Structure formats: structure tokens, C-alpha cells
Amino acid sequence: MSKISIVPAQKCDEDGKLIMNWRNDETTRKMFYNNKVKIWDTFKTEFYECYFKNIPLFAVMDNKKISFVSFVKEEKEVYSISINIPPENRGKRLAGKILNKSLEYVQSNYKTISKIIAEIKIENLPSIKSFLRAGFVFKKDDTKKVGDKMLKIKVYEYVFK
């Protein structure tokens, strides 16, 4: 198996369009809170103005970007995590490895972060299994209001040692 590495996303159209295209995949949209299709004219502003206030990362294998992982600050030392694996890389048991590598990257490069929270739609069983394999611990069942809908979610956390 090839080695997975983690690299920061770059503030460039190429990375932004790749993230947007992966984000627009039908299965991905079903699992995200906001499931509307993104178009470059509006996503470009979101990408350049918002993504880099957080920690945007790519997982790379064989010199090819295989996944996008984002860490978003929630509280002083607490971040939430989101992972997007494009269709061609799903079903290969990569998610747990990508999550582990991403956590190692964050722990090495962002010393003040103590905890990572993952909120996963209850029907997203592949993600739930991947987060558990990566060492996340179930905390609670919850609901989240998104627009006019209430979504059932499971909340997991990873605490850095």
C-alpha cells in the first residue's frame, strides 16, 4: 500500500475547484449539512475568504490528491472535522488512515488544539466506522437544525494525549 501524506490546501483556483467538484458529488452532498450544488462563481469567494480561516488539508497518495480534510475552530482549543473522499477513492478503506494522518498533522503543527469533534449524520455508516477506526469516541446522539430541517446526528470526539 502506498504511503498517505497530508499537505495544506493552497489558496489557488486549482485547489478550490477540486474541493468544489468533490463537494458536488451526489453522495457527498447527501452527507453534508448543506447539500446544495456549488458553482465556481460563488464558491470561489467562499473558498478564498473562509477556507483559510480554518485548517484545509489534502491527503496525498502517489503524488495525487485523494481526499480533502478540514478542521474548523469551534472553541479556543476545540475544532470540528470534515472529510470528503471523492467517489474514485471510496470503498478502499482509506478514510481511517487519512483521518489518522490528518490528526497527526494537526497535533504536530497546531499545538494548542486539544480536542476534535466529528458530527456525522446518523445514516452515514461508512463515516461512523471510519471515525471509530481512527480512534474517535462516541459522545452522544443529537439533532442539528439546518435551515428548516432537524437532522439526526451522532457526535464523536478525539482528544489529543
pLDDT of residue 33: 76
| Residue indicated by cell numbers 449539512 | 33
Return d(Cα 25, Cα 67) in angstroms, integer. 13
**Contact (CB, 8 A) for 113 and 161:** no
pLDDT of residue 1: 60
| pLDDT tens, N- to C-terminus, the chain (161 residues) | 689 999 999 999 999 999 999 999 998 888 887 788 999 999 999 999 999 999 999 999 999 999 999 999 999 899 999 999 999 999 898 999 999 999 999 999 999 999 999 999 999 999 999 999 999 999 999 999 888 889 999 999 999 98
CB burial of residue 101 (10 Å; 0-12, 13-18, 19+): buried
pLDDT of residue 30: 83
CATH code, 4-159: 3.40.630.30
pLDDT of residue 99: 97
Q: What is the radius of gyration, based on Cα positions, of the chain?
A: 15
Return d(Cα 95, Cα 43) in angstroms, integer. 25
Nearest to 137 by CA among 122, 121, 115, 106: 115
Return d(Cα 54, Cα 59) in angstroms, integer. 16
Instruction: Please give the model's pTM, rounded to 2 decimal places.
Output: 0.92
Q: For the chain, which residues make up each domain, given as ranges?
A: 4-159
**Grid coordinates representing 52?**
483559510
pLDDT of residue 31: 81
